[in-house]
Amino acid sequence: MNGDLCYANLDYANAPGVWRDFGANVSRSAANRPWMPALGNHEIEFGICNQTGQQGDIPGGIAVQGVAGNYWNGPYGYGHYQSRFLLPDNGVINYDGNRLRGNFYAFRVGTVQFISLDADDVIYQESASSYLRSEPDTPPMITTSGAAIPNGASTYNRGYTGDLEFSRADNSAVPDHSRGQPNLQTLWLILTLAQARRDPGIDMIVVFMHQCALSSARANGSDLGIRQAWLPLFDKYEVDLVLSGHEHNYERSYPVRGYDRGAHGTVVSANPEQTAGEKIDTRRPRVVTTEPVAVGDLAGWDTQEGTVFVVLGCGGNNGPSNNYGTDPETGAPRAKVITRRNVLTGSPAAGFRRYAADTVEEALWSAQTNPGDPYGYAIFDVDPGERPGETTITMQFFAVPAVTNRGGPLHDGTTTLPEKPYETVVFGRGISRRSGCGFRELSTTTA
């Protein structure tokens, strides 16, 4: 589960009830198999909230907020999430003394190592809990518990596990040791990836998180923060698959490794810190190949040569985002990239305005989308092979015809499940050499 489980943060007054209903809804499945989620922006439900959008701006921090009666859901806003899932312990204690168990974690199934990350810690986009009203002198929102959420309250969790230092040399972000508080999640990720690659029993590494490093959807798009902090590590340790949500659609990339140097992005949304038309280095991932290798009758991708990114955010929300960016002149895929934090201006008395921070790039890496159906699910079958190093993962993505309650009577919840997958692909390390066929073009769509 790639984050945004039930959107309880959109119902401030009834968040516990939303989580209760979600738990009851999924219990038939969760009672019989482990549900292993990743944190999304909608899991942030007013942790360290404040009135200017900058964490720590209110003198006294948490203590003052407690006295003021502000809504409290744990130090990072993850209280409801943490109380409902008992997840593997990463052994990390944050600089503020809070344990980070379950915020990010790893587990192994057979020859595959799975790593769940909290991308809220590194992204630029600000899209978590907020009560930002543009009307002047907006009174506080009062929840059913009597807690007051003042106008301008906003939670922004970037860097909550420590500092990141920007490196101009390769447009990356690395743990910053200058203040003695380097980003703990990234340090843990380095150690976890290194251990996995040294383990002879682990063939493939699958990372899952909520926000997207590669997405051509017009709704959210790609986030430069993930590209800067974690894609260099995915390259170094040859991560095979990266799964994400955030967008309510399906998209798969070609294998990528490294990045295209240069200013390949163009600012489209002017804001106090950027000018429309300005050229930006979006650290656009470099495509290894656009031609799959034959694996029997299926199309395969050699993940030893490059990491494949898959967006699987098509599980439930009735606000689909399978509207993908295209160049109006060429029709080629085009992606929005969030290159810095959304600038917030104003005050409780004057009202607030949040600016977009959007840049567009040519999405050479986008291989497959589904503009027809916003909903669907994927099945992953792992074959460990006959000897070490022969693991393959076959993914079948099934598109589900959309049903909606918008503009009509309530739907009864039934739909026609697909009989054939929309796409079936095989991922494996070194399969281009094992197949003996070399790379050749195949159709990856079976529907």
Residue 81: pLDDT band with limits 50, 70, 90: very high
Residue type at position 138:
T
Residue 50, beta-bridge partner list: 154
Q: How far apart are CA 92 and CA 188, in angstroms?
A: 8
Q: For residues 235 and 416, which has the higher predicted lDDT (pLDDT)?
A: 235
Residue 138: the pLDDT is 85
Rg (CA), the chain: 22
Q: Are 128 and 44 in contact (CB under 8 A)?
A: yes
Query: Read out DSSP for 241-254?
Result: EEEE-SSSSEEEEP
pLDDT at 175 over 90: yes
pLDDT at 55 over 70: no
What b-and-e string marks burial along 299-335, b requiring 16 or more CB atoms within 10 Å of the CB? Answer: bbbbbbbbbbbbbbbbbebeebbbebbeeeeeeebbb
Quick one: 276 exposed, middle or buried, by C-beta within 10 A (0-12, 13-18, 19+)? exposed
Q: Are 245 and 311 in contact (CB under 8 A)?
A: yes
Q: What single DSSP character describes residue 328?
A: T
Report CA-CA distances (Å) from 144 to 15, 17, 60: 10, 12, 26
Question: Which three-class secondary structure state does DSSP give residue 190?
Answer: helix
Q: Is 161 left (phi over 0), alpha (psi -120 to 50) or beta?
A: alpha
Residue 337, beta-bridge partner list: 222, 359
Residue 82: pLDDT band with limits 50, 70, 90: very high
Q: How far apart are CA 324 and CA 214, in angstroms?
A: 12
* Single pTM value for the model: 0.91
Q: Which residues are within 8 A (CB) of 129 and not within 5 positions of it... i.e. 6 or more apart? A: 9, 44, 45, 46, 47, 49, 77, 153, 154, 155
How is residue 443 written in tokens? Answer: 């159709």
Q: What single DSSP character describes residue 114?
A: E
pLDDT tens track for 257-298: 999 999 999 999 888 888 999 999 999 999 999 999 999 999
Residue 412: the pLDDT is 67
> Rounded to 5 degrees, what angle do the CA atoms 349, 351, 356 make?
150
pLDDT at 66 over 60: no
Residue 410: pLDDT band with limits 50, 70, 90: low
Q: How far apart are CA 91 and CA 105, in angstroms?
A: 9
Q: How far apart are CA 51 and CA 55, in angstroms?
A: 9
pLDDT at 103 over 90: yes
Domains of the chain plus CATH, in order, are 8-435 (3.60.21.10)
Question: Which three-class secondary structure state does DSSP give residue 376?
Answer: strand
Token pair 């008992």 is found at 86
Residue type at position 63:
A
The alpha carbon of residue 77 and the mean position of all alpha carbons in its chain are separated, in whole angstroms, by 17
Q: Is 11 left (phi over 0), alpha (psi -120 to 50) or beta?
A: beta
Question: Which three-class secondary structure state does DSSP give residue 197?
Answer: helix
Token pair 């915020």 is found at 103
